[in-house]
Amino acid sequence: MKYVHLITNGIWYRNPTLVIGIGMCPTLAVTTSVSNALWMTLATTFVLVCSNALVSVVKNITPGHIRIPIFITIIAAFVIIVELSIKAFQPAVDKALGIFIPLIVVNCIILGRAEEFAQKNSIIDSIFDGIGMGMGIGVTLTLLAFIREILGANNLLGYTLIPGMEPSLVMIMAPGAFFTLGFLLWGMNVIKSRSKR
Amino acid sequence: MYRTIIKPTLILVTIAFIASFALSHINRITKGKIEERVRRSREQALLAVLPATLGYVITEKDKKVTVDGKDFFYTIAEKTEGDKKSRAYAFECEKSGYSGVIRSMAAVDETMKLIGISVIQQSETPGLGARAKEIATTDTFISHFFGSSKGKVAAGPVRSWFEEQFTGLDGSKQIGIMKKGEWRAENESLRKELMEKNSVSAITGATITTRAVIAGLENGIVQLRKVLEQEKPAPAQEVKAK
């Protein structure tokens, strides 16, 4: 029950992008296509789960005043592992996501979870928290990308939707990301306030 | 002293050591694969800009020279037509685009006429600048599910319309940009107009990308000319002089 709660917490109650409002930069940048969003989710979740687990392991030997450099070292190591593996085995993904994979190091969701959760809780809890938060990012990114790809590129996972239709370019550019994110936030808050009543 | 300085230092060193140890292993596993990918993408680009159908045979591959303190790689290919020998040069060039470096491979003949270009690496906005490289599929959801074979992409190196329109332009002169929309090989009048003005049609909504590709190309040609100047007299040019 506790683990289920940790997962739903990440997806809904404390969704990192929509509720806590962190990690916006990659969220807005990579959601131009659903496949990009899914790969970014996979990469971020892997780093998040691994770094949460390791931070939780070393929490007792970490002196408080140097915890940040230690967390960053751990996170950076996992990010480089992801980056090199993607470069070697998925060159197409490397081309599409490019700079955003190495930038996971400074994604505040990961450092935020290390600081807020993993350094105070057991390994198993931290791993579940990582999975939950990862799924939260995944749901948000995929939804954003789904809307933006359909409207902005008339395309979904490599297939043209309506042949010959000119898509609205603004949705694929930065403003489109903000519009869509705004609507998602609005939708989420409507559902939340309804369920409270 | 021990608690505030020595202990934290030791812990940090240990963690950094473990991390770099693990990474060195990952690096060893992936290094070969990554190099192989880079090599293959270069080879494919070379094939795209110097297609075998033109009759060029590569004589010297990836020759390295230093121009203006920078490394410059180029490939020499030769073609024999009757008793006339002519050369073509393929080189890599790069320039920052809208969001990151755009690297492309280009091939020119002796008169600096473009034989072809191919964008190797770019990180432009998908659907806009990335159309320099993307090829629009005519494959739709419907045709995918109902098994129509229409719109299958042909095998071998395929180039986008943006890359194809460079073929035949004069690289020794300035290449202009015209906003004429999508270029098609069938559209004879547009093709003729662009050839006359030595221009390319820009990608709609991505003039910065178009400009960057052209600027990179022009830089590359300038560098190539310097290199060729240095290496005169080349044997192929002596043959031509006869």
For the entire predicted model, the pTM comes to 0.72
Residue pair A73/B19 in contact (Cβ under 8 Å)? The answer is yes
* Token pair listed for B183: 């270029």
Confidence of residue B214 (pLDDT cuts 50, 70, 90): confident
**What is the per-residue pLDDT for B65?**
74
Residue B25, chain A, CB below 8 Å: the answer is: no
Per-residue pLDDT reduced to its tens digit, B95-144: 888 877 888 888 888 888 888 888 877 777 766 777 777 665 555 555 55
**What is the per-residue pLDDT for A99?**
74
**Confidence check: pLDDT of A66 > 70:** yes
**What is the per-residue pLDDT for B136?**
57
**What is the per-residue pLDDT for B239?**
47
**Confidence check: pLDDT of B147 > 60:** no
Residues near B188 by beta carbon (within 8 Å), at least 6 away in sequence? none
**Confidence check: pLDDT of B24 > 80:** yes
**Confidence check: pLDDT of A53 > 90:** yes
**What is the per-residue pLDDT for B158?**
64
HEC string for chain A: CHHHHHHHHHHHHCCHHHHHCCCHHHHHHHCCCHHHHHHHHHHHHHHHHHHHHHHHHHCCCCCHHHHHHHHHHHHHHHHHHHHHHHHHHCHHHHHHHHHHCHHHHHCHHHHHHHHHHHCCCCHHHHHHHHHHHHHHHHHHHHHHHHHHHHHHHCEECCEECCCCCCCCHHHCCHHHHHHHHHHHHHHHHHHHHHHHC
Confidence of residue B17 (pLDDT cuts 50, 70, 90): very high
Per-residue pLDDT reduced to its tens digit, A123-182: 999 999 999 999 999 999 999 988 888 888 777 776 777 776 777 778 878 888 898 899
Higher pLDDT among residues B211 and B126, named by residue: B211
Chain A residue whose CA is closest to B21:
A77
Confidence of residue B149 (pLDDT cuts 50, 70, 90): very low
The pLDDT mean for chain B works out to 76
Mean pLDDT is lowest, of A60-64, A125-129, A162-166, B166-170, for A162-166
- Which residues of chain A neighbour B141 with C-beta distances below 8 Å? 156, 159-161
Residue B39, chain A, CB below 8 Å: the answer is: no
Confidence of residue B18 (pLDDT cuts 50, 70, 90): very high
Per-residue pLDDT reduced to its tens digit, B60-81: 777 777 777 677 777 888 777 7
Taking residues B161-179, what's their average pLDDT?
Answer: 79
Q: Do B128 and A173 touch (CB under 8 A)?
A: yes
Q: Do B26 and A80 touch (CB under 8 A)?
A: yes
Residue pair A17/A137 in contact (Cβ under 8 Å)? The answer is yes
ipTM score of the complex?
Answer: 0.74
**Confidence check: pLDDT of B238 > 50:** no
Which of A88, A167, A172 is the closest to B125 by Cβ? A172
Taking residues A116-126, what's their average pLDDT?
Answer: 89
Taking residues B153-174, what's their average pLDDT?
Answer: 70
CB contacts < 8 A, A to B, total 95
Which of B8, B29, B205 is the closest to A169 by Cβ? B205
Confidence of residue A49 (pLDDT cuts 50, 70, 90): very high
**What is the per-residue pLDDT for A79?**
92
Confidence of residue A51 (pLDDT cuts 50, 70, 90): very high
Confidence of residue B232 (pLDDT cuts 50, 70, 90): low
Which of B16, B125, B144 is the closest to A32 by Cβ? B125
**What is the per-residue pLDDT for B169?**
80
